[in-house]
Amino acid sequence: MSSNIRPDSMARITTPELANAFIEEQIAEIRAQVGDKKVLLALSGGVDSSVVAALLIKAIGKQLVCVHVNHGLMRKGESEQVIEIFGKELDANLIYIDATDRFLDLLKDVADPETKRKIIGNEFIKVFDEESAKLEGISFLAQGTIYPDILESDGVKAHHNVGGLPEEMAMELVEPVKLLYKDEVRVVGEALGLPHAMVYRQPFPGPGLGVRCLGAITRDRLHALREADAILREEFDNCGLAEKVWQYFIAVPDFKSVGVRDGKRYEGWPAIIRAVNTKDAMTATIEEIPYPVLHKITDRITHEVEGINRVLIDLTPKPIGTIEWE
Protein backbone atom coordinates (compact mmCIF):
# COMPACT_ATOMS: atom_id res chain seq x y z
CA MET A 1 0.00 0.00 0.00
CA SER A 2 2.43 2.62 -1.16
CA SER A 3 -0.25 5.15 -2.14
CA ASN A 4 -1.56 7.75 0.29
CA ILE A 5 -5.11 7.21 -0.98
CA ARG A 6 -7.23 4.58 0.71
CA PRO A 7 -8.85 2.40 -1.97
CA ASP A 8 -12.66 2.32 -2.01
CA SER A 9 -12.47 -1.46 -1.99
CA MET A 10 -10.62 -1.56 1.35
CA ALA A 11 -12.94 -3.03 3.97
CA ARG A 12 -13.12 -1.34 7.38
CA ILE A 13 -11.14 -3.39 9.89
CA THR A 14 -13.76 -4.22 12.50
CA THR A 15 -13.01 -7.82 13.53
CA PRO A 16 -9.97 -9.78 14.77
CA GLU A 17 -10.05 -11.79 11.52
CA LEU A 18 -9.78 -8.68 9.36
CA ALA A 19 -7.10 -7.30 11.68
CA ASN A 20 -5.05 -10.51 11.44
CA ALA A 21 -5.29 -10.46 7.63
CA PHE A 22 -4.08 -6.83 7.67
CA ILE A 23 -1.21 -7.74 10.04
CA GLU A 24 -0.03 -10.60 7.80
CA GLU A 25 -0.19 -8.36 4.73
CA GLN A 26 1.77 -5.60 6.48
CA ILE A 27 4.42 -8.00 7.81
CA ALA A 28 5.11 -9.11 4.23
CA GLU A 29 5.21 -5.49 2.99
CA ILE A 30 7.49 -4.32 5.84
CA ARG A 31 9.93 -7.19 5.25
CA ALA A 32 9.97 -6.47 1.51
CA GLN A 33 10.58 -2.75 2.12
CA VAL A 34 13.13 -3.02 4.92
CA GLY A 35 15.06 -6.19 4.07
CA ASP A 36 17.85 -6.65 6.63
CA LYS A 37 18.22 -2.94 7.45
CA LYS A 38 17.40 -1.08 10.69
CA VAL A 39 14.31 1.02 11.42
CA LEU A 40 14.05 3.85 13.98
CA LEU A 41 10.80 4.69 15.79
CA ALA A 42 9.96 7.41 18.32
CA LEU A 43 7.78 5.43 20.71
CA SER A 44 5.59 7.77 22.75
CA GLY A 45 3.34 5.13 24.31
CA GLY A 46 0.36 6.55 22.41
CA VAL A 47 -1.98 4.27 20.48
CA ASP A 48 -0.55 4.81 17.01
CA SER A 49 3.17 4.54 17.80
CA SER A 50 2.54 1.54 20.10
CA VAL A 51 0.63 -0.37 17.40
CA VAL A 52 3.31 0.44 14.81
CA ALA A 53 6.00 -0.75 17.25
CA ALA A 54 4.20 -4.04 17.96
CA LEU A 55 3.65 -4.61 14.22
CA LEU A 56 7.30 -3.92 13.37
CA ILE A 57 8.57 -6.11 16.22
CA LYS A 58 6.46 -8.95 14.79
CA ALA A 59 7.85 -8.29 11.31
CA ILE A 60 11.53 -7.52 11.88
CA GLY A 61 12.26 -8.02 15.61
CA LYS A 62 15.53 -6.43 16.77
CA GLN A 63 16.00 -4.55 13.48
CA LEU A 64 13.59 -2.04 14.99
CA VAL A 65 15.15 0.50 17.37
CA CYS A 66 12.53 2.19 19.59
CA VAL A 67 13.44 5.44 21.32
CA HIS A 68 11.20 6.54 24.20
CA VAL A 69 11.87 10.05 25.50
CA ASN A 70 10.36 10.79 28.90
CA HIS A 71 10.09 14.59 28.95
CA GLY A 72 8.87 14.55 32.55
CA LEU A 73 5.37 15.58 31.41
CA MET A 74 3.91 12.09 30.99
CA ARG A 75 0.93 10.90 33.00
CA LYS A 76 1.56 8.68 36.02
CA GLY A 77 2.90 5.26 35.06
CA GLU A 78 3.06 5.85 31.30
CA SER A 79 6.82 5.61 30.74
CA GLU A 80 6.92 2.64 33.11
CA GLN A 81 4.23 0.93 31.01
CA VAL A 82 6.25 1.47 27.81
CA ILE A 83 9.33 -0.09 29.44
CA GLU A 84 7.32 -3.00 30.86
CA ILE A 85 5.45 -3.88 27.65
CA PHE A 86 8.02 -3.14 24.97
CA GLY A 87 11.28 -3.54 26.86
CA LYS A 88 10.37 -6.61 28.90
CA GLU A 89 7.33 -8.42 27.47
CA LEU A 90 8.01 -7.85 23.75
CA ASP A 91 11.80 -7.80 24.24
CA ALA A 92 12.11 -4.79 21.93
CA ASN A 93 15.35 -3.03 21.10
CA LEU A 94 14.31 -0.09 23.33
CA ILE A 95 16.32 3.00 24.23
CA TYR A 96 14.79 4.87 27.20
CA ILE A 97 15.83 8.45 27.86
CA ASP A 98 14.75 10.20 31.04
CA ALA A 99 15.10 13.85 30.04
CA THR A 100 12.87 15.17 32.86
CA ASP A 101 15.40 17.60 34.33
CA ARG A 102 16.44 18.88 30.94
CA PHE A 103 12.86 19.79 29.97
CA LEU A 104 11.75 21.16 33.35
CA ASP A 105 14.87 23.32 33.66
CA LEU A 106 14.13 24.88 30.26
CA LEU A 107 10.47 25.46 31.19
CA LYS A 108 11.26 27.19 34.49
CA ASP A 109 9.39 30.53 34.76
CA VAL A 110 7.84 30.14 31.27
CA ALA A 111 4.12 30.94 31.52
CA ASP A 112 3.06 31.56 27.90
CA PRO A 113 1.33 28.43 26.49
CA GLU A 114 2.71 28.77 22.95
CA THR A 115 6.25 29.32 24.24
CA LYS A 116 5.89 26.21 26.42
CA ARG A 117 4.72 24.15 23.44
CA LYS A 118 7.63 25.37 21.28
CA ILE A 119 10.21 24.64 23.98
CA ILE A 120 8.84 21.12 24.52
CA GLY A 121 8.61 20.39 20.77
CA ASN A 122 12.07 21.77 19.94
CA GLU A 123 13.77 20.04 22.84
CA PHE A 124 12.13 16.74 21.95
CA ILE A 125 13.64 16.99 18.45
CA LYS A 126 17.07 17.77 19.94
CA VAL A 127 16.97 14.80 22.34
CA PHE A 128 15.72 12.45 19.61
CA ASP A 129 18.32 13.78 17.17
CA GLU A 130 21.15 13.32 19.69
CA GLU A 131 20.12 9.71 20.31
CA SER A 132 19.68 9.02 16.59
CA ALA A 133 23.19 10.36 15.90
CA LYS A 134 24.60 7.71 18.26
CA LEU A 135 23.03 4.93 16.22
CA GLU A 136 24.63 3.42 13.15
CA GLY A 137 23.11 1.90 10.06
CA ILE A 138 19.59 3.28 10.40
CA SER A 139 17.98 3.36 6.96
CA PHE A 140 14.29 3.78 7.79
CA LEU A 141 12.14 5.93 10.03
CA ALA A 142 8.85 4.41 11.21
CA GLN A 143 5.92 6.66 12.12
CA GLY A 144 2.43 6.21 13.50
CA THR A 145 0.80 8.29 10.78
CA ILE A 146 -2.87 7.34 10.37
CA TYR A 147 -5.32 8.15 7.57
CA PRO A 148 -6.93 11.27 9.17
CA ASP A 149 -3.41 12.75 9.46
CA ILE A 150 -2.99 12.45 5.70
CA LEU A 151 -6.47 13.85 5.02
CA GLU A 152 -5.84 16.81 7.38
CA SER A 153 -2.38 17.69 6.19
CA ASP A 154 -2.39 16.43 2.60
CA GLY A 155 0.63 14.31 3.42
CA VAL A 156 2.54 17.08 5.23
CA LYS A 157 2.67 15.08 8.46
CA ALA A 158 5.75 13.21 7.25
CA HIS A 159 7.84 14.68 10.07
CA HIS A 160 5.12 15.62 12.54
CA ASN A 161 4.95 12.52 14.74
CA VAL A 162 8.49 12.88 15.97
CA GLY A 163 8.22 16.64 16.20
CA GLY A 164 9.85 17.54 12.87
CA LEU A 165 13.09 15.66 12.29
CA PRO A 166 16.05 17.43 10.68
CA GLU A 167 16.18 17.07 6.90
CA GLU A 168 19.72 15.70 6.97
CA MET A 169 18.33 12.52 8.53
CA ALA A 170 17.56 11.21 5.08
CA MET A 171 15.62 8.09 5.93
CA GLU A 172 12.85 6.38 4.04
CA LEU A 173 9.52 6.30 5.88
CA VAL A 174 7.77 3.16 7.10
CA GLU A 175 4.11 3.95 7.84
CA PRO A 176 2.20 0.67 8.12
CA VAL A 177 -1.06 2.09 9.52
CA LYS A 178 -1.28 5.20 7.32
CA LEU A 179 -4.47 4.00 5.59
CA LEU A 180 -6.31 3.18 8.82
CA TYR A 181 -8.72 5.20 10.91
CA LYS A 182 -8.17 5.35 14.68
CA ASP A 183 -10.86 2.75 15.49
CA GLU A 184 -9.18 0.33 13.04
CA VAL A 185 -5.75 0.93 14.60
CA ARG A 186 -7.26 -0.11 17.95
CA VAL A 187 -8.68 -3.37 16.52
CA VAL A 188 -5.25 -4.14 15.04
CA GLY A 189 -3.57 -3.30 18.37
CA GLU A 190 -5.78 -5.77 20.25
CA ALA A 191 -5.10 -8.44 17.60
CA LEU A 192 -1.36 -7.84 18.15
CA GLY A 193 -1.88 -8.58 21.87
CA LEU A 194 -1.27 -5.09 23.27
CA PRO A 195 -3.05 -4.35 26.58
CA HIS A 196 -6.59 -2.97 26.26
CA ALA A 197 -5.68 0.09 28.38
CA MET A 198 -2.86 1.01 25.98
CA VAL A 199 -4.90 0.44 22.83
CA TYR A 200 -7.83 2.48 24.15
CA ARG A 201 -5.62 5.16 25.71
CA GLN A 202 -7.29 8.53 25.30
CA PRO A 203 -5.74 11.24 23.12
CA PHE A 204 -2.87 12.97 24.89
CA PRO A 205 -1.23 16.18 23.62
CA GLY A 206 2.44 16.09 22.57
CA PRO A 207 3.45 18.57 25.30
CA GLY A 208 1.68 16.27 27.77
CA LEU A 209 0.92 17.62 31.22
CA GLY A 210 2.87 20.73 30.23
CA VAL A 211 -0.34 22.28 28.85
CA ARG A 212 -2.43 21.14 31.83
CA CYS A 213 -0.09 22.55 34.50
CA LEU A 214 -1.33 26.03 33.63
CA GLY A 215 1.09 28.95 33.61
CA ALA A 216 4.73 28.51 34.63
CA ILE A 217 5.36 24.85 35.52
CA THR A 218 6.75 24.05 38.96
CA ARG A 219 7.76 20.55 40.00
CA ASP A 220 5.49 20.46 43.05
CA ARG A 221 2.42 21.56 41.08
CA LEU A 222 3.27 19.17 38.24
CA HIS A 223 3.50 16.33 40.78
CA ALA A 224 0.12 17.30 42.29
CA LEU A 225 -1.41 17.40 38.79
CA ARG A 226 -0.02 13.95 37.91
CA GLU A 227 -1.37 12.40 41.12
CA ALA A 228 -4.80 14.05 40.81
CA ASP A 229 -5.07 12.98 37.16
CA ALA A 230 -4.24 9.38 38.12
CA ILE A 231 -7.08 9.40 40.69
CA LEU A 232 -9.53 10.75 38.09
CA ARG A 233 -8.53 8.03 35.62
CA GLU A 234 -8.75 5.30 38.25
CA GLU A 235 -12.24 6.37 39.35
CA PHE A 236 -13.45 6.65 35.74
CA ASP A 237 -12.17 3.09 35.20
CA ASN A 238 -13.97 1.90 38.35
CA CYS A 239 -17.37 3.35 37.39
CA GLY A 240 -17.31 2.51 33.67
CA LEU A 241 -16.96 6.10 32.42
CA ALA A 242 -13.51 5.50 30.93
CA GLU A 243 -14.92 3.75 27.86
CA LYS A 244 -17.76 6.27 27.43
CA VAL A 245 -15.78 9.52 27.54
CA TRP A 246 -13.48 10.55 24.68
CA GLN A 247 -11.13 12.64 26.81
CA TYR A 248 -10.98 13.41 30.51
CA PHE A 249 -8.25 15.04 32.52
CA ILE A 250 -7.29 17.43 35.30
CA ALA A 251 -5.89 20.93 34.82
CA VAL A 252 -4.21 22.74 37.71
CA PRO A 253 -3.93 26.56 37.50
CA ASP A 254 -1.21 28.67 39.02
CA PHE A 255 -3.08 30.19 41.95
CA LYS A 256 -3.99 29.13 45.46
CA SER A 257 -7.00 29.54 47.72
CA VAL A 258 -7.37 29.10 51.45
CA GLY A 259 -8.78 25.92 52.94
CA VAL A 260 -8.73 23.96 56.19
CA ARG A 261 -6.94 20.70 56.91
CA ASP A 262 -6.53 19.08 60.33
CA GLY A 263 -8.01 22.20 61.93
CA LYS A 264 -5.35 24.43 60.37
CA ARG A 265 -5.36 26.95 57.53
CA TYR A 266 -4.25 25.18 54.35
CA GLU A 267 -3.48 26.96 51.08
CA GLY A 268 -3.68 24.83 47.97
CA TRP A 269 -4.33 24.77 44.23
CA PRO A 270 -7.67 23.86 42.66
CA ALA A 271 -7.89 20.76 40.45
CA ILE A 272 -10.23 21.30 37.49
CA ILE A 273 -11.95 18.25 35.97
CA ARG A 274 -12.66 18.29 32.22
CA ALA A 275 -14.55 15.44 30.55
CA VAL A 276 -15.70 15.79 26.94
CA ASN A 277 -17.08 13.74 24.07
CA THR A 278 -16.37 14.46 20.43
CA LYS A 279 -16.25 12.74 17.06
CA ASP A 280 -13.72 14.97 15.32
CA ALA A 281 -12.31 17.29 18.05
CA MET A 282 -13.77 20.26 16.13
CA THR A 283 -16.74 20.42 18.51
CA ALA A 284 -17.17 18.76 21.93
CA THR A 285 -19.98 18.15 24.38
CA ILE A 286 -19.76 17.76 28.14
CA GLU A 287 -20.10 14.28 29.63
CA GLU A 288 -22.38 14.23 32.67
CA ILE A 289 -20.61 12.70 35.65
CA PRO A 290 -22.87 11.32 38.40
CA TYR A 291 -22.61 13.30 41.63
CA PRO A 292 -21.59 10.26 43.76
CA VAL A 293 -18.60 9.77 41.41
CA LEU A 294 -17.70 13.46 41.63
CA HIS A 295 -17.91 13.35 45.45
CA LYS A 296 -15.61 10.32 45.56
CA ILE A 297 -13.06 11.89 43.19
CA THR A 298 -13.13 15.13 45.21
CA ASP A 299 -12.69 13.31 48.50
CA ARG A 300 -9.75 11.28 47.19
CA ILE A 301 -7.95 14.18 45.51
CA THR A 302 -8.29 16.58 48.44
CA HIS A 303 -7.16 13.93 50.95
CA GLU A 304 -4.51 12.09 48.94
CA VAL A 305 -2.83 14.81 46.88
CA GLU A 306 -0.51 17.19 48.67
CA GLY A 307 -1.10 20.80 47.57
CA ILE A 308 -4.66 20.52 46.23
CA ASN A 309 -7.53 21.72 48.40
CA ARG A 310 -10.41 22.24 45.94
CA VAL A 311 -11.92 20.31 43.04
CA LEU A 312 -13.86 22.13 40.32
CA ILE A 313 -15.58 20.94 37.14
CA ASP A 314 -15.42 22.63 33.75
CA LEU A 315 -18.86 22.55 32.09
CA THR A 316 -17.93 24.47 28.93
CA PRO A 317 -18.59 22.81 25.55
CA LYS A 318 -16.52 23.47 22.40
CA PRO A 319 -17.22 26.01 21.10
CA ILE A 320 -16.82 28.22 23.15
CA GLY A 321 -14.08 26.51 25.18
CA THR A 322 -11.30 24.51 23.51
CA ILE A 323 -10.79 20.94 24.73
CA GLU A 324 -7.41 21.74 26.32
CA TRP A 325 -7.05 24.80 28.57
CA GLU A 326 -3.84 25.96 26.92
Residues 173 and 225 in one domain: no
Q: Is residue 32 part of a domain?
A: yes
Q: Does residue 218 form part of some domain?
A: yes
Residue 4 has pLDDT above 80, yes or no: no
Number of domains in the chain: 2
Answer whether residue 221 shows pLDDT above 80. yes
15 with 187: CB under 8 angstroms? yes
User: Domain range for residue 244?
Assistant: 212-313
Q: Do 130 and 195 belong to one domain? A: yes
Same domain, 220 and 187: no
Interval 273-282 mean pLDDT: 91
Answer yes or no: are the C-beta atoms of 132 and 40 closer than 8 Å. Answer: yes
Percent of the chain with pLDDT strictly greater than 70: 94
Looking at the structure, tell me whether residues 106 and 132 fall in a common domain.
yes
165/192 same-domain check: yes
pLDDT higher at 132 or 23? 23
Asked whether residue 284 is assigned to any structural domain, the reply reads yes
Q: Quick one: 241 and 191 in the same domain? A: no
Q: At what angle do helices 16-34 and 182-191 cross, to 10 degrees?
A: 90
Asked if 41 and 183 sit in the same domain, the reply is yes
Same-domain status, 223 and 296: yes
Q: Is 228 left (phi over 0), alpha (psi -120 to 50) or beta?
A: alpha
Query: Are both 167 and 221 inside the same structural domain?
Result: no
pLDDT of residue 153: 65
- Rounded CA gap, 210 and 120, in Å? 8
CATH number of the domain where residue 234 is located: 3.30.300.10
Q: How open is the CA angle 71-74-80, to the nearest 5 degrees? A: 100
